[in-house]
Amino acid sequence: MKRFKAWCGAGWRVAVCLLLLLWIFHSIFMNQGRVWAQREGLRWEQMSRSQQWHLAWNKGPQDLWHTLSLVHPGALVISVLLVGLTVWLGVVRWRIVLQAQGLHLSMSCATRISLVAQFFNSFLLGSTGGDLIKAYYAARETHHLKTEAVTTVFVDRLIGLWVMLFFAGVMMLPNLQLVRRHSQFAVPALFILAMLAAVSVVLFLAFWGGLSKRFPRARHYLRRLPKGVLLERSVDSCRQYGRENALLIKTVVLSLAVNMTWVLQTAVLGWGLDLAIPFVALLVIVPTILCISALPITPNGLGVRENLFVILLAVIAVPGDAALSLSLLSSAQGILWSLIGGVVYMGVRQKENLADVTNPEVAANN
């Protein structure tokens, strides 16, 4: 029964993903079909619905493929390398977070685990599902610091998400006219600000607390919950980061570097497709898309991300087919790195011994 429920839960999310993709492809193809009909002197309005659909799905894929094939090879290579750079920066940030808990993970080991997490990101919910796998490795391979190792994954993601939301919120200021004039931009912007407020509360409570002071028996009730002892250890682990100001500064700087790299990657792809996209607008559009598509709605954010690209880039007069091509190319590069992670996973699935890395002397020899 549990397996059946799990399959049902995954099934409806995959269905949502497919419906979103079908909707955006159909919308783009219908527009391409209308343009083709006008170019050929045909009257689109006088066609039946079935004729319109047939023309759209006959000509639309060809035009989309043509747009995809126009990308400059140099831009494609550079953007692939930039996606890899975001993975590497994430590894560096996670190692810093690990070290605060006495887990001295070698760069090679952390990179392997992160690449495996990237592989699982390609089909788990949202764009952060691989964190569950990263936490699994950390918990399975660490003997006496399992809870702390899992907490590092949560903290690493929490800091990265908060910085991205904050970055998007700040970048709304130079793009305030776009937000005010276009409702399709204003709604995601308000959603980002709401997410920023919620994540800020979670981050503050996780790192600095305050509930125990107002409610002295809060810890008592926490311990009475299922797995209460582990929850309390997780809370104590999070408090450690609230006392590490230098660590927080480093992780924030690295997260900002990740954000800028994603913006640059999208800008390079846009240049490769000969799209005139203002860089200032990308500073708010890209993190907005990344934050919303990270929500566990569809596998790897598919459908959500593509729709957001088309909707938000339409605000700055980017054609729908070009915006969809930009999104598909970006997704394909993420899948490429996921495949690399899959190859790594086949090689390291037996063991990633994190128990040894709790010993600084062992880590120094790696």
pLDDT tens readout for residues 280-313: 999 999 999 999 988 877 766 777 888 889 889 9
Neighbours of 22 (CB within 10 A): 11
Q: For residue 23, is it within any domain?
A: no
Residue linked to tokens 């596998």: 299
Range among 261-270, 295-304, 357-366 with highest mean pLDDT value: 261-270
Q: Which residues contact 225 (CB under 8 A, 6 or more apart)?
A: 231
Q: For residue 107, is it within any domain?
A: yes
Mean pLDDT on 182-190: 88
Q: For residue 185, is it within any domain?
A: yes
**Is 116:344 a contact under the CB 8 Å cutoff?**
yes
Q: For residue 47, is it within any domain?
A: no
Give the three-class secondary structure for 126.
strand
Provide the pLDDT for residue 340.
83
Mean pLDDT on 318-344: 83
Q: For residue 138, is it within any domain?
A: yes
In angstroms, what CA-CA distances link 121 with 41, 71, 150, 245, 328?
46, 26, 17, 30, 16
Per-residue pLDDT tens digits for 51-76: 778 887 887 777 767 767 778 989 98
Residue linked to tokens 């390398």: 81
What does the chain come to in residues? 366
Could you tell me how far CA 2 lies from the centroid of its own chain? 28
Distance CA 45, CA 54 (A): 14
**Is 286:263 a contact under the CB 8 Å cutoff?**
yes
Structure tokens at 12: 């409806």
Q: Total structural domains in the chain?
A: 1
Q: Which residues contact 285 (CB under 8 A, 6 or more apart)?
A: 312, 313
Per-residue pLDDT tens digits for 27-51: 767 766 766 676 677 777 778 878 7
Q: For residue 20, is it within any domain?
A: no
Q: With bands split at pLDDT 50, 70 and 90, how would you rate the model's confidence at 105? A: confident
In angstroms, what CA-CA distances link 273 with 40, 73, 270, 286?
25, 10, 5, 17
Q: For residue 18, is it within any domain?
A: no
The range of the structural domain enclosing residue 287 comes to 73-365
Q: For residue 37, is it within any domain?
A: no
